[in-house]
Structure 1
């Protein structure tokens, strides 16, 4: 075994160990960063949810979308070039990355449990390899799209072209997966709206649904200039619920409060999102996989699902309630 193969094996072992911790006792509706809709076949849902919990970069909706694109949900699929099973692993790739997902003592590409868990593991190995390139700006693109490109064309091609390779097949694959993921997107973990300060913050923000976005608008006292911007809305909601005045900008809100894991979010938590390279957006988690936010000029305060579009960006969740 080469040094490279040993490194990959260690990465797989680490990812598999994380899967067991994250998925212990997991059933449908578990802790999944985005959840899984009923569009996924019921017999595969628990394994997709578990595979989508291996790493924060690859949620269940992406796993499900890949399976539809790869095999059309056929566990016995064989491609003309020799790819096998639900996740369409080539034999050589399976030899390196295949895992025994269901613990029956063998790794079988035609076993749905093994195929799905191997797919999640392989995705996360790729993501782990590419993340430093995004951080150093050597790679262009978001981690989900780059990971999908690596799954299709190999991570070496992503590095070679500093982003998604200029292959029509790979570019089409990434576009198709991201589109398919929309129908598999379910509710975010985090529980019901409930009561207490968090619920009060949600109720305060909801009073202004439909209020225009105004750059620099809003604050602890409510809308100014006829509306809110994103951080003005969250500052108002937290003040209305707690009497505390939190920092005004999204970047400064990120440095305040108590940081909580994404899968432990509660209604009233503030989600700072790095969708612009500078942590320039923020919304308020309302429960059931949704946030309320003031998006950008020309829009209004609205309630939106935390779907695959939002999942692809880094988040920093802060608690003030």
Structure 2
């Protein structure tokens, strides 16, 4: 009887070992499949340059150099167009911003004060839109002060998105709280002089996404230099 029990026990142990090994092998296979699916999903979600961007590359480079010179940060501006419209010339926002670079009607009409070639507002004309973006970025850049070019471009983009006046007001709040008003990241960007929570969140996300996520994408694709040069 004891011998029989030992035999049965040994068989059960071996069966258990086989089952456990099979289970672990199967679990490993399933885990591997899940990891692969996660990787593929992440790859699918990764940022890519829209195919239609290529047709505007030469125009953007030319327009950028008109206002920024031969060392124009074309990759930065390409990233900005990507963020604004994903390179859709017919894009219209819920609030009425139009074209590749999403100019509001009043700002589009005003752009002739910055560049006489833009006097006739044509936000749905890609050539006008790209030149207007380069011109307005430069106009804003010349009116903000920061400790480094990347910080300065972040302020420029914040002003493009929400208005130049907010930069001065936010700087006053930052200064009153003992923060450095000439540094954007982790400093000025933390302070809100009165925007709504939704507007504040959008405005702070705008420079970060353009400079830290999209600009490197266009630099790697050979669109020229970016202001931040892969800063993180």
Which residue of 2 is the match for residue 45 of structure 1?
A: 57
Which residue of 2 is the match for residue 144 of structure 1?
A: 153
Normalised TM-score (structure 2): 0.56
Matches within 5 A, 1:102-181: 106-130=120-144, 133-134=145-146, 142-162=151-171, 163-164=188-189, 166=192, 167-178=200-211, 179-181=213-215
CA contact (8 A) 1:73 1:86 kept: yes
Distance in 2, Cα, partners of 1:125 & 1:159: 15
The CA deviation at 1:155 is 1.2
2:229 aligned to 310, 315, 318, which one? Answer: 310
4+ runs of 1 displaced by more than 6 Å?
Answer: 37-40
The CA deviation at 1:188 is 8.5
Q: Which has the larger radius of gyration?
A: 2
Which residue of 2 is the match for residue 55 of structure 1?
A: 68
CA contact (8 A) 1:108 1:115 kept: yes
Unmatched 5+ stretches in structure 1: 1-36, 190-288, 290-305, 313-321
Distance of aligned partners of 1:105 and 1:120 in 2 relative to their CA distance in 1, 3 Å threshold? closer
Matches within 5 A, 1:1-321: 41-53=53-65, 54-55=67-68, 59-97=73-111, 106-130=120-144, 133-134=145-146, 142-162=151-171, 163-164=188-189, 166=192, 167-178=200-211, 179-185=213-219, 308-310=227-229
After superposition, the CA RMSD in angstroms is: 3.5
Which residue of 1 is the match for residue 180 of structure 2?
A: none
Q: Tell me, what secondary structure is at the counterpart of 2:132?
A: helix
Q: Tell me, what secondary structure is at the counterpart of 2:142?
A: helix
CA contact (8 A) 2:61 2:74 kept: yes
Distance in 1, Cα, partners of 2:104 & 2:54: 26
CA contact (8 A) 1:99 1:117 kept: no
Distance in 2, Cα, partners of 1:153 & 1:174: 11
Distance of aligned partners of 1:87 and 1:99 in 2 relative to their CA distance in 1, 3 Å threshold? farther
The CA deviation at 1:81 is 0.5
Distance in 2, Cα, partners of 1:40 & 1:126: 28
The CA deviation at 1:309 is 2.7
Distance of aligned partners of 1:99 and 1:159 in 2 relative to their CA distance in 1, 3 Å threshold? closer
The CA deviation at 1:99 is 8.4
Unmatched 5+ stretches in structure 2: 1-48, 172-187, 193-199
Q: Tell me, what secondary structure is at the counterpart of 2:124?
A: coil
Residues 68-88 of structure 1: per-residue CA shift (max 9 Å, x gap): 111111111111111011100
Distance of aligned partners of 1:107 and 1:159 in 2 relative to their CA distance in 1, 3 Å threshold? same
Distance of aligned partners of 1:99 and 1:87 in 2 relative to their CA distance in 1, 3 Å threshold? farther
Distance in 2, Cα, partners of 1:185 & 1:152: 22
Distance of aligned partners of 1:89 and 1:121 in 2 relative to their CA distance in 1, 3 Å threshold? same
The CA deviation at 1:51 is 2.8
Residues 130-149 of structure 1: per-residue CA shift (max 9 Å, x gap): 1xx336x9xx9711111111
The answer to which structure has the higher strand fraction is: 1
Q: Tell me, what secondary structure is at the counterpart of 1:310?
A: coil
Distance in 2, Cα, partners of 1:43 & 1:91: 25
